[in-house]
Amino acid sequence: MHSGLRERKRRLEMDILYLLIPLSVLLVLIIVGVLGWAIHDGQLDDLEHEGARILRDDAAPEAAALAVAGAQRDRDKV
């Protein structure tokens, strides 16, 4: 009785490998494809300056200019 259950469990374990191995290969191919796309698209060209870019405050003058223009526009409406 137990040998039949063991055989069925062993067969199920082997059958799942027929699914998992192709899925693993497909996942690796997708990862390699996305990495190749990112490299070809230039996503990894300038890593040093991208880390420093976030620390610069380039957007502040533009935001301040927009705020001043908005305040002047509101003042002119009154």
Quick one: which of 53, 36, 55 has its CA closest to 44?
36
Higher pLDDT, 41 or 70: 41
pLDDT at 54: 76
The pLDDT of residue 51 is 74
**With bands split at pLDDT 50, 70 and 90, how would you rate the model's confidence at 70?**
low
Rounded Cα–Cα distance for residues 1 and 70 (Å): 83
Domain that holds residue 16: 2-77
> Is residue 38 within 8 Å of residue 44, measured between CB atoms?
yes
Number of residues assigned to the chain: 78
The answer, as to whether pTM is greater than 0.95, is no
Question: Domains in the chain: how many in total?
Answer: 1
**HEC assignment per residue over 54-69:** CCCCCHHHHHHHHHHH
Q: Which long-range contacts (CB under 8 A, 24 or more apart) does 51-56 make?
A: none
